Amino acid sequence: MRESKIVRKTKETDIELYLCLDGIGKENIDTGCGFLNHMLTLFSKHSRFDLDVKCVGDTDVDYHHTAEDIAICLGKAFAEAIGDKKGILRYADIILPMDEALIMCALDISGRGGLYFDLDIPACKVGDFDTELCEEFFRAFVRESGVTLHIRQLNGTNSHHIIEGTFKAVARVLSKGVSIDERFKDEIPSTKGVI
């Protein structure tokens, strides 16, 4: 099983996170932020990764530290769980509709974290979640996971749909990218021999 458990405690957040890449989409999410709980539940279901997240954060300030620090832990867990990357497909892409929103997402599990993010989210908040935290979340994730991630909005006017479509799209491409190609299960998918 490709899995990892991360415990991270700072003056701003106290997080325990468990990730299993070979799961069934079982989740137990408690971030202290209803909208982020919703997004991470979708992420688990659409990736089929098992995900447990417990976060106590300084939500009296806002959800910035909570969102960013959970993404840091998720990225670390992903990098640890995937191991040497033998046999993975490595690349994946999707164009995912969420009602009127249409999100293009492509990734390379390259070992070189990079976020190329082009969303036009019209509202400043969804519930009490600052929509700018969507970008912060994925920036922290790619930095820690070593994933190159492109996210582009092709259509959409509803902020909730745009962000939800993004989390679903990222989940689906990560799931495909880490899947094992049985023809090459003992090979690193790089001419360098290492990722």
User: What pLDDT shows up at residue 195?
Assistant: 79
Q: What is the pLDDT of residue 142?
A: 98
C-beta atoms surrounding 189 within 10 Å: 17
Q: Which CATH class is domain 3-184?
A: alpha beta
- Assess contact for 49 and 175: CB atoms under 8 A: yes
- The alpha carbon of 183 is separated from its chain's Cα centroid by a whole number of angstroms, namely 27
Question: pTM for this structure?
Answer: 0.96
pLDDT at 179: 97
Q: For the chain, 195 residues long, give each residue's pLDDT as a single digit of tens.
A: 999 999 999 999 999 999 999 999 999 999 999 999 999 999 999 999 999 999 999 999 999 999 999 999 999 999 999 999 999 999 999 999 999 999 999 999 999 999 999 999 999 999 999 999 999 999 999 999 999 999 999 999 999 999 999 999 999 999 999 999 988 888 888 877 777
Specify the DSSP class assigned to residue 184.
G
Q: How far apart are CA 126 and CA 110, in angstroms?
A: 32
Sequence ranges of the domains in the chain? 3-184
**pLDDT confidence of residue 110:** 93
